[in-house]
Amino acid sequence: MPDGKALRFAHVAIIGKYQAPGSRDVVEEVAHFLHDEGCEVSLERETALNTGLLQYPALDVPAMGQSIDLALVLGGDGTMLGIGRQLARYGVPLVGINQGRLGFITDIPFDTYRDNLGSILRGEYEEDTRALMAASVWRDGRCVFEATALNDVVVNRGGVASMIELRVEVDGHFVANQRADGLIIATSTGSTAYALSAGGPLLHPAIDGWVMAPIAPHTLSNRPIVLPAHCEVAVEIVSGKDASANFDMQSLTSLMHGDRIVVRRSEHTLRLLHPMGWSYFDTLRKKLHWNEGA
């Protein structure tokens, strides 16, 4: 142990964005760093197979959930979304080293990872808990699709240049029939993603709420609304062709007239660890290129 301080996280698994050029070298470098710090190192199975770094144990998600102390994500927010949804049920904390572009939740720049990660391994970090959504699609009274989302659930029209009509309910109360290109239901984490481009507000991650934002609504007074996260949102497809539902833009299902998409708060939460002194506002300022003057 370089500074003599005991490790808080002894067994660390690496999840890499293995499709990216040079990813093998990055994963190998970080694995060596962790080993030198005194950690037991494993690789997520697909990361191991696709990088060829077979000298480390290769673990699937259940094995990681049962045996590791920390998950280290090398990539962008998409990589974090994919593994975060799967590991949340196990309560495993995650750290993100950014190799992507925006990096709202993979917030440690690769060129500073040594100092930041070394401190986190020894218990010097800020913990940030994020809510997840549990979504289901119902057809003729039975569930035909289920998914979890960390960012958002999006109901979209198809490729045909026409709107879809959606009936929206919150906790069983009718809200409106909305004609639009679609509808976004986003967590505070997802408020900086698609919901932001649709005109939705930014929600601080400490706010226990969701954003419901229409996409290009026919009625301009149909505005984004912030809802309490404990509510249930139901969206029914009234009319429109080739509608679909996306979950974090990583899983997709086609929809038919009469289908109901039900969104509830998941029983699981995601644990994100950040370097000491981390600030949500620093992230917004850097990633959204706000005026950085004093």
Q: Using the structure block, give the residue that is written with the tokens 């995601």.
A: 270
Does the annotation count 128 as an active-site position?
Answer: no
CA distances from 218 to 46, 164, 176 (A): 44, 10, 13
- Catalytic annotation, pick one of 36, 77, 171, 259: 77
- Asked whether the predicted pLDDT for residue 288 surpasses 80, the reply is yes
- Whether residue 213 sits in one domain with residue 164: yes
For 138-186, write each residue's pLDDT tens digit. 999 999 999 999 999 999 998 777 899 999 999 999 999 999 999 999 9
Q: pLDDT grade, residue 1 (50/70/90)?
A: very low
Same domain, 141 and 55: no
Counting the structural domains of the chain, the total is 2
Say if residue 182 is in the same domain as residue 211: yes
Confidence band, pLDDT 50/70/90 cuts, at residue 102? low
Q: Is 181 inside any structural domain?
A: yes
Amino acid type, 42:
S
The pLDDT of residue 2 is above 70: no
Asked whether the beta carbons of 53 and 45 are under 8 A apart, the reply is no
CB 75, CB 17: distance < 8 Å: yes
Average pLDDT value for the chain: 93
**CATH code, 200:** 2.60.200.30
SS3 at position 221: coil
Q: For residue range 134-149, list pLDDT tens digits in order.
A: 999 999 999 999 999 9
Give the separation between CA 29 and CA 23, rounded to whole angstroms: 10
pTM: 0.92
294 within a domain of the structure (yes/no): no
Q: What is the pLDDT of residue 4?
A: 63
Contact in structure between 151 and 193 (CB atoms under 8 Å): yes
2 belongs to a structural domain:
no
Residue range(s) defining the domain that contains residue 64? 11-125+275-287
Cα–Cα nearest to 44, from 92, 8, 100: 92
Phi then psi for residue 285, to 5 deg, are -60, -40
